[in-house]
Structure 1
Amino acid sequence: MATTTGADAPVLPGNPLLGSMFDLKNDALGTFLRAQRELGDVVRITAGPPGLRASVYGVFSAEGAQQVLAGESANFRKDNAFYQEIRESFGNGLLTSQDEDYLRQRRLVQPLFTKRRVDGYAAAVATEVATLTDEWRDRGAGTVDVLHEMTRLALRAVARILFGTDVDAAVEIVERSFPELAAYVLSRGYAPVKVPRDWPTPANRKAATVHEALYQVCDRIIAERRASDRAPGDGDDLLTLLVEAESAEDGSFDATELREQVLVFLLAGHETTATSLGFALHLLGRHPEALKRAHEEVDRVLAGRVPDAADLDALPYVTRVLKETMRLFPAAPAVGRRAVAATVVDGVTIPAGADVIVASYVTHRHPAYWEDAERFDPDRFTPEAEAARPRYAWYPFGGGPRACIGQHFSMLESVIALAMMLQKYDFEAVDTEVPVGSAITLFAKGPVRCRLVPRTA
């Protein structure tokens, strides 16, 4: 049993009336970084006016992250205000469900994410990447916002893999809806007092409209798939597999559960990959030597052909570029939990019922694990360098029993997509500094533009 005798957490100084409320709302990641630099690896951060003031405990070390996410994961639950808002906006899918609901969903979904199954999606990813690079060529695109372009790419790829041929309708609605819902979740998550969702405020009405549009497209596609006359096993898109998923112990997904899994897959399945690819192009565009090494590896290994899943191990430098990108720009830069019982993390007592933030964005910059942490250096991820660091010095996919089920798919898609784009283009960064923020996932506060330079044969 964990000890509960430790020091009191240092408190980050803030506004006398509102604590760190505006710091968190305007720059949560910068606030967490400052807390670690000034006060250490477990810091209490307060926010809100007197009488409504809330506290959150930031956990920033690799050892603390491992304790919260893995070693004592049962003591740290997804019960905080932000997860409740995500749950109400996107449903009770794998991202937000808990206890027996989560275990049942995980058992039903796990067979869809075996390495063999995921490797089979490589051709669909390659098709979408080829479509995008052809579009760049046809429109003579000189400068593009690579994060926007990668969001479109990743969304089309995951929609194709989820829905098969029903790509365009889903992409259009999701591309418009997800940012609006994410902003709504963030706003409600930080609000000291929450207006009930069924009150007819402008924000609630707008969110309800967006929510309904997402549900309608998912319900339509699910209903069409259920009504189709294809025999079991005829389809290899994820929706068909989800519809057919069942076991004697867990039964199968009903229509509501299917919709919620589809929404979570769309959110988690495109945001992570889009963030990694967009910022990888940005970083390569700022570092010509790294770009040259990546080009040389892609040219040598692929010799102009389309990559597939079997090529991943033969592209170690491209993989290291992506891992270093995910260190600097993790798609899930901070995740929340709530402590069930009092426990000690890094010598500091976290009381029962406390909200806890585990911030990979900070751990990935921790001076104990990363020298000159803001410098882009893919060689931090050689096998020897990785073996010398604590396991949770780098955890862009989370960890423990709630680690991202789709991390192999994300790496497969990212390596294939980056390799194919490097075959066709050089990238020169236009925006050298890109401020970022955090809602449900990491986002750029401005454009992430690169100049595309077609490579000559």
Structure 2
Amino acid sequence: MPHTAPVHTRRADAVPLRQVVPSLLRDPAQALVEFGERSRGEVVKLNLGSFRPYLVTRPEHLQQVLREKAANYVRAGDGLQWRPLKRLFGEGILSDGEYWSNSRHILQPLFTARRIDNLVDRLAEAIEDAVDELDAPARAGQPVDMGTEQARIVCSAIMRVFFADKISVPDAMKIMQAQDAIAWSVMPRIMVPWAPLAVPMPGDRAFRRAVRLIDDTLMPIVRASRETAESDGDDIISTLWRGRTEDGSRLDERQVRNDTVAMVATTTETTISVLTWLWPHIEQDPLIAERLYEEIDRVVGDAPVRREHLRELRYTRQVLDELLRLYPIGWLFPRRAVEADVLGGVRIEAGSTLVVSPLITHRMSMFWDRPEVFDPDRFAPERARSRHRYAHFPFGGGPHQCLGMHLFYLEATLIVATLLSRYRFRLQRPAVPGIKVAAALRPLERVELTLRPVRSAAA
């Protein structure tokens, strides 16, 4: 018989409870990055008392968890981030197993790169119309809250192009506000993941109120769409009603509701949150701002932004990639090991929870030079090609990679190019906001700025 060398495994080092909990309570984002730095890329355990997840940060290990062994590392539906949010999204595109498979089978054709590319001009026109409303405050020199304005612009475009205006912009904005309340309300449960859902916690009442508002807004639209789905176009809600699962059956009302809520959230909220950090970063570095303005002025000029411009906006794409490095769309992807495994020489017991966090890996000095500095040149093609695929994974990876990745890049590029082809800006407060860790990353402070029309600025 051939001789097989034994596989040597070790127990993971642990970050002690006395270091984990106080750091997380003081500054969760900074604490997580420090845990990653301390691990030096090794698989370690975070001691949270009775709950001790493994922290996985090295790109090679992440590739195993998210792609190569994805069937063994499933979404951790009973812990960390997903368990409290599951009360909102339920079983569907944001869950796992058969529900996820059925929803993805139906929805994926709406989000292929080819189909999204065919929607570019419609998205561009909707964004242009929404940006028009900034002309009045720009001429008057009135400050605007970019978080609010981006929400309005994104909702206007997404509701028109992906939901066929079945959800009005005011209703979409109400849903955004409810989602924001939910993001904060679940934080006590994310920070104390071992607490049973039956045990009352701060934020529960706000959570229930926000979910009720979302359901009261969306459920009448979902039910009305059932009657017209066969004759309607390819908006998301009609597609869900018409769709057939892999075994030929249809989704029930609950799963259509779950997927509608999930798709409203994933097609809007991510772009709004990430872009809020853009403006202070580019104002803080005049060289980055100058290169961005030069490219947009040269490529777009006075014309409306359209499909043919996007491939030429290469530096704009680098800026967005660097923004996603510091503020990834998904900051936490918990996974649960179905069967025992060995990862980086550490034995992972069946049933263990793994913490996978782009926020951590993207800011570790092992994988990035001067990770705290905003530097779009990191994503120049020659530098990006030499980097491990899972050193930068703001949309996750493997079979669960976010369906909306291509949409984000198109939508964000259109918004940035449209705004900066028409306006220059000044921040009311030039500091870059810190990070509030919630269900999605949020700026600690509002970002307010004053816009100036480019023509009057150049006059």
User: Shared fold (TM-score greater than 0.5)?
Assistant: yes
Tell me which residue corresponds to 1:83. 82
Tell me which residue corresponds to 2:304. 306
Structure 1: distance between partners of 2:268 and 2:324: 14
Q: Which amino acid aligns with 1:11?
A: A
Tell me which residue corresponds to 1:220. 220
Structure 1: distance between partners of 2:108 and 2:329: 22
Identity %: 28
Residues 1:338 and 2:336 aligned together? yes
Structure 2: distance between partners of 1:120 and 1:252: 27
8 Å Cα contact 1:333-1:360 kept in structure 2: yes
Cα pair distance change 1:339/1:189, threshold 3 Å: same
Structure 2: distance between partners of 1:148 and 1:7: 50
User: Could you tell me how far 1:56 is from its partner in structure 2?
Assistant: 1.6
User: Could you tell me how far 1:152 is from its partner in structure 2?
Assistant: 3.2
SS at match of 2:44: strand
Tell me which residue corresponds to 2:363. 365
SS at match of 2:47: strand
Cα pair distance change 1:337/1:413, threshold 3 Å: same
Tell me which residue corresponds to 1:106. 104
Tell me which residue corresponds to 2:3. none
Unaligned runs of 5+ in 1: none
Unaligned runs of 5+ in 2: 1-5
SS at match of 2:283: helix
Tell me which residue corresponds to 2:174. 173
Cα pair distance change 1:288/1:377, threshold 3 Å: same
Tell me which residue corresponds to 1:6. 9
Q: Which of 268-277 and 404-413 deviates more?
A: 268-277
Q: Which of 81-90 and 321-330 deviates more?
A: 81-90
User: Could you tell me how far 1:316 is from its partner in structure 2?
Assistant: 0.7
User: Could you tell me how far 1:22 is from its partner in structure 2?
Assistant: 4.2
8 Å Cα contact 1:282-1:450 kept in structure 2: no
Q: Which of 371-380 and 410-419 deviates more?
A: 371-380
Tell me which residue corresponds to 1:295. 293
8 Å Cα contact 1:61-1:366 kept in structure 2: no
Q: How many residues align?
A: 443
8 Å Cα contact 1:46-1:54 kept in structure 2: yes
Cα pair distance change 1:132/1:25, threshold 3 Å: farther
Q: Which of 158-167 and 209-218 deviates more?
A: 158-167
Tell me which residue corresponds to 1:196. 198
8 Å Cα contact 1:21-1:47 kept in structure 2: yes
Tell me which residue corresponds to 2:127. 129
Structure 1: distance between partners of 2:187 and 2:104: 27
User: Could you tell me how far 1:378 is from its partner in structure 2?
Assistant: 1.2
1:220-245 deviation per Cα after TM superposition (whole angstroms, max 9, x unaligned): 112222234x863x524322333332
Residues 1:424 and 2:422 aligned together? yes
Structure 2: distance between partners of 1:444 and 1:410: 19
Cα pair distance change 1:452/1:13, threshold 3 Å: farther
User: Within 5 Å, which residues of 2 pair with 1:149-298?
Assistant: 149-165=149-165, 166-191=167-192, 192-196=194-198, 203-228=203-228, 232=231, 234-246=232-244, 249-298=247-296
Cα pair distance change 1:118/1:183, threshold 3 Å: same
Structure 1: distance between partners of 2:246 and 2:195: 44
User: Which residue, out of 313, 316, 341, partners 1:315?
Assistant: 313
Q: Which amino acid aligns with 2:99?
A: D
Structure 2: distance between partners of 1:177 and 1:60: 32
8 Å Cα contact 2:283-2:430 kept in structure 1: no
User: Within 5 Å, which residues of 2 pair with 1:38-77?
Assistant: 38-41=38-41, 42-48=43-49, 53-77=50-74
Structure 1: distance between partners of 2:147 and 2:247: 42
Structure 2: distance between partners of 1:432 and 1:248: 50
Structure 1: distance between partners of 2:202 and 2:31: 30
Q: Which amino acid aligns with 1:257?
A: Q
